């Protein structure tokens, strides 16, 4: 396996003091921490940096590491810890985290003290880790009593080895759920140590964009294309909604962008329903026949209407 140069990873000299190492770590951690940096590869970079800091900030671990560093560990194509390598650092009694590199585990293995160094001071039998899974949900699922199957992987420890197992679960979509909401499934997360309970599974609800509707909270928004004569004269229109077709009367002299509110035809909340807003969009045929052209011409002559009257007022 590859020898990891922790000093190079942090950008410090091998004889750097603790203060320098700390400053270097903080700068890099701030840059690559996945909670503040959404870029691809940031999390991996952060884990590398955190692992380096985990070793170099601890006097005993740093001493062990320096031994190997000095004895040319870097120059080998491959790296294997010397046979029977025990090291002198005390055991923290914590399982290897899958977050550490193979290199780290080969040297510090059971003594890493937990990825974030939690177990350096925390010796209880820990509840299993929580897992968060994105659950894409269709609008149609929210209004029906739909259940969805989710698949995810879970880290488990078997015989001291960390591995991931696949899990499948059937979940009912809760009524009134919002986009971005996080819902908890108790006990469906990673198993705990020894007799400790399992962690939880959190479902991060993401509503899949709908081709016809936009969502604002529990209200739905829909654009209704209408012909110019429908806008001028009014019209009866059939609208598809999530719960079936409804009839709508377009009032005469409607404008593009005008909104009509249909109470209760939106998404269900925990107590009632949101509303559906219909927004008119006037569209004209892409081509005109000679006959319709003539009609348009007469109409323009018969109607005293300047759509740009406002502009002239401004320039007056």
Partner 1 sequence: MPDLIFKVSLQELCAQEGITETMIIEVVEHGIAEPLAGDHCQDWVFESDSVHWMKKAIRLYHDLEIDWVSISMVIDLLQQKDTLLKENARLRSQLERFVNSHYE
* Three-state DSSP state, 120: helix
How far is residue 49's CA from residue 11's CA, in Å, rounded to a whole number?
A: 10
* Residue 144 exposure: Cα atoms within 13 Å on the Cβ side: 11
Which of 54, 56, 68 lies closest to 97 in space, CA to CA?
54
Q: Which of 37, 101, 105, 223 binds partner 1 (CB under 8 A)?
A: 223
Site for partner 1 in 27-56 (CB under 8 A): 29-30, 33, 35-36, 46, 50
Smallest gap from residue 114 Cβ to partner 1 (A): 7
Q: How far apart are CA 271 and CA 315, in angstroms?
A: 53
Residues in the interface with partner 1 (CB under 8 A) total 54
In the complex, minimum distance from the CB of residue 67 to partner 1, in angstroms, rounded to a whole number: 27
Among 8, 18, 26, 233, binds partner 1 (CB under 8 A): 26
Cβ 35 to partner 1 shortest distance, Å: 5
CA-CA distance, 112 to 79, in Å (whole number)?
19
Q: Are 137 and 207 in contact (CB under 8 A)?
A: yes
Radius of gyration of the chain (CA): 32
CB of 24 to partner 1, least distance (A): 12
Q: Which helix (H) or strand (E) holds 248?
A: strand 244-250
> Mask: binding to partner 1, 142-181, rule CB under 8 A, as x and -?
-----x---------------------xxxx-x----xxx
- Residue 96 within binding range of partner 1, rule CB under 8 A: no
Applying the rule CB under 8 A, the residues between 198 and 217 that interact with partner 1 are: 199-202, 204, 209, 214-216
């Amino acid at each position: 396996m590859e020898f990891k140069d922790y000093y190079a990873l942090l950008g410090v000299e091998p004889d750097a003091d603790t203060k320098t190492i700390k400053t270097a770590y903080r700068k890099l951690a701030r840059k690559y921490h996945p909670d503040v940096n959404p870029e691809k590869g940031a999390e991996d970079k952060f884990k590398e940096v955190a692992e380096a800091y985990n070793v170099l900030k601890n006097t005993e671990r740093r001493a062990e590491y320096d031994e190997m560093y000095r004895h040319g560990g870097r120059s080998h194509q491959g790296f294997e810890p010397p046979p029977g390598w025990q090291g002198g650092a005390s055991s923290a009694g914590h399982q290897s985290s899958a977050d550490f590199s193979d290199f780290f585990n080969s040297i510090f293995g059971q003594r890493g003290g937990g990825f974030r160094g939690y177990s350096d001071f925390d010796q209880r039998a820990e509840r299993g880790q929580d897992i968060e899974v994105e659950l894409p949900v269709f609008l149609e699922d929210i209004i029906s009593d739909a259940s969805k199957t989710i698949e995810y992987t879970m880290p488990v420890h078997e015989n001291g080895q960390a591995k991931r197992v696949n899990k499948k679960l059937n979940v009912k979509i809760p009524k009134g759920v919002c986009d971005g909401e996080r819902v908890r499934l108790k006990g469906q997360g990673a198993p705990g140590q020894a007799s400790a309970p399992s962690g939880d599974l959190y479902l991060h609800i993401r509503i899949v964009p709908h081709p016809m509707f936009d969502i604002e909270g529990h209200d739905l928004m829909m654009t209704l294309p209408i012909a110019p004569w429908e806008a001028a004269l009014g019209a009866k229109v059939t609208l598809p909604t999530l719960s079936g077709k409804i009839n709508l009367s377009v009032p005469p002299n409607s404008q593009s962008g005008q909104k009509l509110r249909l109470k209760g035809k939106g998404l269900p909340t925990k107590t009632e329903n949101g509303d559906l807003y219909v927004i008119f969009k006037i569209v004209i045929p892409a081509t005109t026949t000679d006959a319709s052209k003539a009609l348009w011409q007469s109409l323009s002559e018969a109607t005293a209407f300047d759509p740009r009257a406002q502009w002239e007022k401004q320039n007056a």
